[in-house]
Structure 1
């Protein structure tokens, strides 16, 4: 699966990593619902770092269709809230 981190680029990520990413996504969703800004920042950073370390960055000139789009590391709680679906940022 190709994941885009807004403002950074694309990462190719194996589907086997989605259980771990979904745990972080659930934490992020809970923190957003309670307005826990510090927790939100910490979990968003952990989620993006997990994608970066578990995946393989694609070259900057690569334009693969992204199956999942994640917010930029400096995205606000409100910006991320606008990106959410019922499942959070990561479906499943």
Structure 2
């Protein structure tokens, strides 16, 4: 799957990593619902770090369609809330 981190670029991520990423996504959703700004910031950073660590960066000039778009590190809770689907940032 091709994942775009807004403001950074794209990475190719094997589907087998989505179990780990979904756990972080669920945690992020809970923190957003409770208004836990500190937890939200920490978990968003952990989610993006995991994508960077587990994924393979695509060249800057690659124009692959992104199947998943994640917010930038500095995205606000409100900005991320607008991006959410019913089951979080990551489907599944």
TM range (shorter): over 0.9
Q: What do the CA deviations read for 1:40-74 (whole angstroms, capped 9, x no partner)?
A: 00000000000000000000000100000000110
CA–CA distance in 1 between the matches of 2:87 and 2:34?
17
Gaps of 5+ in 2: none
**Structure 1 residue 86: Cα displacement:** 0.5
Report the count of equivalent residues: 92
The residue number in structure 2 matching 1:2 is 2
Q: Which runs of 4+ in 1 moved over 3 A?
A: none
Two-structure CA RMSD over aligned residues (Å): 0.3
Counterparts of residues 1-92 of structure 1 (less than 5 Å): 1-92=1-92
Gaps of 5+ in 1: none
TM-score normalized by structure 1? 0.99
TM-score normalized by structure 2? 0.99
